[in-house]
Structure 1
């Protein structure tokens, strides 16, 4: 199909005008946010100078003015949240009750389809396995790293190396590990690290990413490798924040290192561990890139985010894809609420 510029010119002009209007709107808001507070600040300064010159008490700032300041600063954020989050969420929820063409209302059929289709049930089970394993294993490794590296000779270098995977995108990490899992036929030179180790020990090379459920575990390893650095940094900071007098008192009482860990260190860093587990759980629920790059969701490795993409963009089933998106959203909400409540309790405590 050839592109007819003359036919599409009105649409392109409309798009261009829309972009210009959007840029002008954002620019105007930014100028307004800069000009209005400056005007109020100058006016406030003049009032203070006049009051001090006359010996009168300083005027108090009205609450209405403070609310107006807050409104001007929050307005762009609220608009962006409405456009980028609230409106798409409402639209996706409505589409989840429609058929693939988004024209006919089908009620809860898309939701019952999830639990009636064996392949989708497998997707839900895979997602559950990810959420159970990744946060716990990544936090455990992060805690182990934090304890081992704490006050070591080359602590900063070691932490930098452990945290480095966090700087790599999920796609990049998946590509790196695909080379680790790479397979070549028996008798050929293996380029995959894992198969090379197996061959060196006298075993036979395997196509690791094709064997279920082992392939799901191997993909989970990639996520753990990335998130362990994040857990290590947060938990290491929490360990260093333990009051020194508590540690000294425990040592004077003759506490062993094992007792020190279970009775002093672990209870002291419990809030930080909760934050780490919840944060990694949210990231794991939304995992897409690793599965997409590693196996494309084949061989029983797909998860909710990947299947949502497949249903919506590969198979043209907007209703089913939207239903998966809603389920994913519902699963994330309790974790977010718990995280907010936990942080609020820490701040108040």
Structure 2
């Protein structure tokens, strides 16, 4: 059959690769090379003049050329960062997905659905830095009764004592997570609302005719139907939370026990001038994110296969 194809339309074996060359160049330049170089730097000392093993101290545990990973995994400040990221994942992912799903279901039942959804999604139009500045004013603490921050102004007006929201270790991380939930709920709502619109109306009506109440319809029909979408949203939010930086940096700078992985990476690189440690933290962060990325890709492929 190939003999009947005009010569000008025949492709040589190398032709498909020529189409891929631009993409391969971009991938190598911006993904492969930086990744390999980051791993190399993670094995070097602070000024990149020798291997990281030269930073080992006599009488202390040493991981040789992986000494920067020793710091990235076992140091007290990094353990605090890991624990805080776990808090962010448990609270923020749960909060954004639950609220997003609730609003997506309820918004379909109101007359001004588009207006309601627009208001919920509006915080996504604000930069993370801008949101951090806004909420820093909201949480502002002053001694006495003259409060600039909205929350403390309300508390003092009701006769209570002002709270230092961003410096109290028991509540400051939660206060930061609230900002993240405020920003990302609109994103989750939008994706989940699109998934809910894909649920056949005939199935819902049939369930109602059979006597199922709205609570049963929601849990027994809607949730199973959009479970792949929920999984994609959860894994996407986990990835976003693991990379969280702007809110923490703007509002507390990682102080008062609010340190997270990405903020520590920035601190080591640009404040402590430890590129080796920063690179090791970056590699650890990538390794933590990869499982969520793989799960997300698999779910996406499963959704595409069912279409």
Fold in common (TM above 0.5) = yes
Alignment equivalent of 1:145, drawn from 74, 90, 103: 103
Alignment equivalent of 1:85, drawn from 31, 34, 52: 31
Secondary structure at the aligned position of 1:108 is classed as helix
Are the aligned partners of 1:213 and 1:300 in contact in 2 as well (CA < 8 Å)?
no
Gaps of 5+ in 1: 1-56
Alignment equivalent of 2:227, drawn from 255, 264, 270: 270
Are the aligned partners of 1:181 and 1:193 in contact in 2 as well (CA < 8 Å)?
yes
Q: Does 1:286 align with 2:232?
A: no
Q: Does 1:109 align with 2:109?
A: no
Offset from partner CA, 1:279-301 (integer Å, 9 cap, x none): 11111111111111010111111
Structure 1 runs, 4 residues or longer, greater than 6 Å off: none
Comparing 108-117 with 277-286, which one deviates more in the overlay? 108-117
Secondary structure at the aligned position of 2:161 is classed as coil
1:73, distance to aligned residue in structure 2 (A): 4.3
Q: Does 1:97 align with 2:43?
A: yes
Are the aligned partners of 2:268 and 2:274 in contact in 1 as well (CA < 8 Å)?
yes
Q: Does 1:233 align with 2:190?
A: yes
How many residue pairs align between the two structures? 291
Distance 1:186 1:212 in 2: 21
Distance 1:71 1:158 in 2: 49
Are the aligned partners of 2:169 and 2:257 in contact in 1 as well (CA < 8 Å)?
yes
Comparing 191-200 with 113-122, which one deviates more in the overlay? 113-122
RMSD across aligned C-alpha pairs, in angstroms? 1.8
Q: Does 1:208 align with 2:154?
A: no
Who is 1:9 aligned against?
none
- With normalisation by structure 1, the TM-score equals 0.79
Distance 1:71 1:150 in 2: 48
1:314, distance to aligned residue in structure 2 (A): 0.7
Who is 1:197 aligned against?
154
- With normalisation by structure 2, the TM-score equals 0.90
**Residues 303, 59 of structure 1: alpha-carbon distance in 2 compared, 3 angstrom cutoff:** same
Distance 2:74 2:298 in 1: 36
Offset from partner CA, 1:150-173 (integer Å, 9 cap, x none): 142000011111111111111111
Distance 1:282 1:115 in 2: 19
**Residues 108, 246 of structure 1: alpha-carbon distance in 2 compared, 3 angstrom cutoff:** same
Who is 1:224 aligned against?
181
Distance 2:254 2:297 in 1: 32
Instruction: Kindly indicate which of the two structures has a greater share of residues assigned to helix.
Output: 1
Who is 1:347 aligned against?
304
1:59, distance to aligned residue in structure 2 (A): 5.0
Alignment equivalent of 2:122, drawn from 147, 154, 164: 164
Gaps of 5+ in 2: 54-64
